[in-house]
Structure 1
């Protein structure tokens, strides 16, 4: 080499993700997408094959190879004896999507939301996304029924993500073209990833802020409204029910909340009885029977609180024109 020649740049080595070729499923399509949200595999190439000699050259392999070894970056779930689950109370056997999410999910959430990886919100989102999005993909790929009985469903649902990914495979009576299959796989990977990011965006930007606001409201209400924590005042409407039960289940708060007071879209105020369970129509303590079905002046006269609007016939919710009136209804109801 001439002394005047510029030094050659060291060629960057591209990492390679390996998975199987042929018919594809939602789990490896999502696993590949998720890996490309990590620092290590953001620009990785992809090889779809069942040739073990080729797979051995890949930096990471998902859904093929009959090995689960995080240290070797091998993430298959088809081998005999594989029983890995997500943990944290989840018992569904993992697919390749669940395996990748279990090991890389917190980094992915941190990268996508720009939240520090050690922030408690990342842990919360990591568990939420598994519960609401990943677990179903794991279960479907592993052939685990949603219900442990033989009840015949009233209708069939083929609009779930796994079914839509499956529909991207060519029909049985069309020839399998390797290049065409690879293009369809990339489309499937993009489909699963778009839905994952959309769900993550909702949970990070809408669901998680509601949880934080509820935690703050509970603390404020104990100081200013009811020291026993039975009445929670929300200064703005927010979806509180799921978060309340999650906080109780996580032992962050005791299960004592009885009434939630909040403004409605018209500027009036509501007092809502906390249900026995998130899906229940039965309340922990319904509004008093003597108020139920009453409206306006009749409600104000019977309750002794001016500004009455209504109390539902079942007693699960009532309304007042002011925050003070709604709070007074809640306080009276506690002792009736």
Structure 2
């Protein structure tokens, strides 16, 4: 029987995910998981993760605890991937088998889609597990303003016996941990595939037709609302050039009430700071007051922070965006 080796005792999120991922592959789907630190038993395993003090893809040994181990997605790929977080066993397994795993979970995905999802899943899911396992802080200095106790690593950790429990049968608990983190991996992957990935085509088309919306090329019109910001920055970099960069300020789309919205692009994906907020004089105003102040018919509101506004018509929303550019 094929065997996957990992360490015994207290388990962590990284090896639980590594084992779950391996068992998505045909060659390991029926593998026995051997939890031990006995080197002789580990030698008999076909693949070993998170134990053994050896990183050697040629012999399928994927430990990261060695003093000299400093591998990241960037170093292993020769700079192809941008992530510089030190890898855990989850990241190592993902780097070497991730595309095949995604193909196994999403058999209808194309090679191009798998490449895109491979990067998205690392940055959106696996890197967090690598960072937590290696003790990498999210902050350069100072303390976080609040504690987050619901991360997948924290939840996996709670499956281990508490200090007051005497339960020594760890395999059922490890299987629960695998199911928890693995279930989240699959859920996130399918969400990216079914929702996030199709939005890329919508945003790309909006960028290609931006000059039809406004000669500035800084306003896009979305035919339907979608998670556009998560694609905007990558597509701007891919489609723009140093001589002709793309720098979108506003997106126009129809909201759930069949009215038009103006939404500002932020300076970076995770920032609340807008590249170009709507005019300060409009902020916090509504309806007749806003129409009078802006001189734009149909204006319904502008948020107090200026990051979004609304209008009853497309023409009105476009006029608001154009005025925002000129402000």
Tell me the TM-score normalized by structure 1: 0.86
- Which stretch of the first structure deviates more once superposed, 49-58 or 63-72? 49-58
Shift of 1:281: 4.2
Shift of 1:176: 5.6
- Which stretch of the first structure deviates more once superposed, 286-295 or 106-115? 286-295
Superposed CA RMSD in Å reads 2.3
- What is the match of residue 316 of structure 2? 325
- What is the match of residue 14 of structure 2? 27
Shift of 1:65: 1.3
* 1:107 and 1:117 in contact (8 A); partners too: no
Q: Which runs of 5+ in 2 are unaligned?
A: 75-80
- What is the match of residue 17 of structure 1? 4
- What is the match of residue 207 of structure 2? 218
Paired residue secondary structure (2:209): helix
* Residue among 71, 76, 84 paired with 1:84: 71
- Separation in structure 2 between the aligned mates of residue 283 and residue 66 of structure 1, nearest angstrom: 47
Distance 1:309 1:152, change over 3 A: closer
- Separation in structure 2 between the aligned mates of residue 135 and residue 27 of structure 1, nearest angstrom: 10
Shift of 1:259: 1.5
* Residue among 39, 43, 49 paired with 2:30: 43
Number of residue pairs the alignment of both structures matches: 317
Tell me the TM-score normalized by structure 2: 0.88
- What is the match of residue 118 of structure 1? 111
Q: Which ranges of 4 or more aligned residues in structure 1 deviate by more than 6 Å?
A: none
* 1:235 and 1:262 in contact (8 A); partners too: yes
- What is the match of residue 276 of structure 1? 267
- Separation in structure 1 between the aligned mates of residue 40 and residue 281 of structure 2, nearest angstrom: 78
CA deviations 1:147-180 (Å, max 9, x no partner) are 232x344544332222222222223344463xx1
* 2:260 and 2:317 in contact (8 A); partners too: yes
CA deviations 1:216-251 (Å, max 9, x no partner) are 2211333x2135421100121222223213333x44
- Separation in structure 2 between the aligned mates of residue 109 and residue 67 of structure 1, nearest angstrom: 26
Distance 1:156 1:49, change over 3 A: same
Distance 1:74 1:234, change over 3 A: same
- Separation in structure 2 between the aligned mates of residue 286 and residue 55 of structure 1, nearest angstrom: 59
CA deviations 1:44-74 (Å, max 9, x no partner) are 2221122222211211111111111111111
Q: Which runs of 5+ in 1 are unaligned?
A: 1-13
Shift of 1:307: 2.3
- What is the match of residue 165 of structure 1? 156
CA deviations 1:286-310 (Å, max 9, x no partner) are 3344544544345445544432223
* Residue among 183, 198, 202 paired with 1:194: 183
